[in-house]
């Protein structure tokens, strides 16, 4: 039997079908939320039968859990790239750009995450107050260092990071609203957003406190 979870010692079929299921599940969970998603929908989306899906995963919860687990790494990655290498303002603007690109290129992942947090993050509370908090603390210290060195304007590093998360993910999570409001201007929404956000964070970080 399969009942995958580990990524080692799997047959080709196991690997392929597992990915196939996760791809379909991402689509379905992102569109309908956890409760709104059904195994039947995942089955249809993936082209597999329901029992076949349950042959590879120990239930709906397990599929969702696997998706969230993988997602979190992807999610933390852009923030990890925030380092002391170049100019602080450019570093942060780069981070904003990467996050916005993720919202544009991986909206389903963003929505999956948003859904989970909105419901109180029942499945990933530990990851939030563990890895996510640690990484954020680390980057907050980095930003505080820049402030103390007078390289950027004094801002609350945590709320700066929250602002970046909020403003970038907004374009994935609330895309319907963005498109409805922009109307025929919607096509260029990501380009315009990039320009606006870069200007905003540049102004904030370069302002004279």
Partner DNA sequence: GGATTTTCTGACCATATGGTCAAAATTATG
Partner DNA sequence: CATAATTTTGACCATATGGTCAGAAAATCC
Q: How far apart are CA 112 and CA 72, in angstroms?
A: 11
Interaction between residue 38 and DNA (CB under 7 A): yes
Interaction between residue 14 and DNA (CB under 7 A): yes
**Any residues with CB less than 8 A from the CB of 25 and at least 6 apart, and which?**
37, 42, 45, 46, 63, 64, 67
Which 116-145 residues touch its own copies, going by CB under 8 A?
A: 117-121, 125, 128-129, 132-133, 136
| Residue 14 partner contact from its own copies, DNA, none using kind-dependent CB cut-offs of 5 to 8 Å | DNA
| Residue 81 partner contact from DNA, its own copies, none using kind-dependent CB cut-offs of 5 to 8 Å | none
Please answer whether residues 156 and 209 qualify as being in contact, where contact means their C-beta atoms are separated by less than 8 angstroms: no
Interaction between residue 41 and its own copies (CB under 8 A): no
Q: How far apart are CA 127 and CA 68, in angstroms?
A: 10
Radius of gyration of the chain (CA): 20
Interaction between residue 28 and DNA (CB under 7 A): no
Copy the structure tokens of residue 30. Answer: 């992102």
Q: Cα 86 to the chain's mean position, in Å?
A: 25
Burial (0-12, 13-18, 19+ Cβ within 10 Å), 82: buried
Interaction between residue 182 and its own copies (CB under 8 A): yes
Interaction between residue 199 and its own copies (CB under 8 A): yes
| Residue 141 partner contact from DNA, its own copies, none using kind-dependent CB cut-offs of 5 to 8 Å | none
Copy the structure tokens of residue 119. Answer: 């419901």
**Any residues with CB less than 8 A from the CB of 104 and at least 6 apart, and which?**
171, 172, 190
Among 59, 130, 191, 199, binds DNA (CB under 7 A): 59
CB of 29 to DNA, least distance (A): 10
- What DSSP element (H or E) covers 99? helix 88-105
| Residue 60 partner contact from DNA, its own copies, none using kind-dependent CB cut-offs of 5 to 8 Å | DNA
| Residue 59 partner contact from its own copies, DNA, none using kind-dependent CB cut-offs of 5 to 8 Å | DNA
CB of 51 to its own copies, least distance (A): 23
* Residues that bind its own copies in the complex, under the rule CB under 8 A: 31-36, 111, 114-115, 117-121, 125, 128-129, 132-133, 136, 153, 155-156, 158-160, 162-163, 165-167, 169-171, 173-174, 176-178, 180-183, 185, 192-193, 195-197, 199-200, 203-204, 206-207
């Amino acid at each position: 039997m399969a009942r995958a979870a580990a990524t080692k010692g799997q047959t080709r079929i196991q690997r392929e079908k597992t990915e196939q299921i996760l791809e379909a599940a991402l689509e379905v969970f992102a569109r309908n939320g956890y409760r709104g998603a059904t195994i039947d929908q995942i089955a249809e989306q993936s082209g597999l039968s329901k029992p076949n899906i349950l042959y590879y995963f120990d239930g709906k919860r397990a599929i969702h859990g696997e998706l969230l687990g993988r997602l979190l790494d992807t999610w933390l990655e852009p923030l990890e790239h925030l380092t002391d290498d170049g100019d602080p303002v450019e570093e942060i603007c780069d981070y904003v750009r990467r996050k916005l690109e993720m919202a544009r290129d991986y909206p389903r992942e963003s929505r999956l995450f948003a859904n989970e947090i909105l419901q109180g993050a029942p499945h990933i509370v530990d990851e939030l107050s563990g890895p996510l908090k640690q990484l954020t603390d680390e980057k907050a210290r980095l930003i505080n260092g820049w402030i103390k060195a007078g390289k950027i304007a004094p801002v609350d590093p945590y709320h700066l990071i929250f602002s970046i998360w909020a403003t970038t993910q907004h374009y994935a999570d609330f895309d319907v609203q963005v498109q409805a409001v922009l109307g025929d201007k919607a096509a260029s929404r990501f380009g315009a957003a990039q320009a606006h956000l870069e200007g905003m964070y540049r102004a904030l970080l370069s302002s004279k406190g």
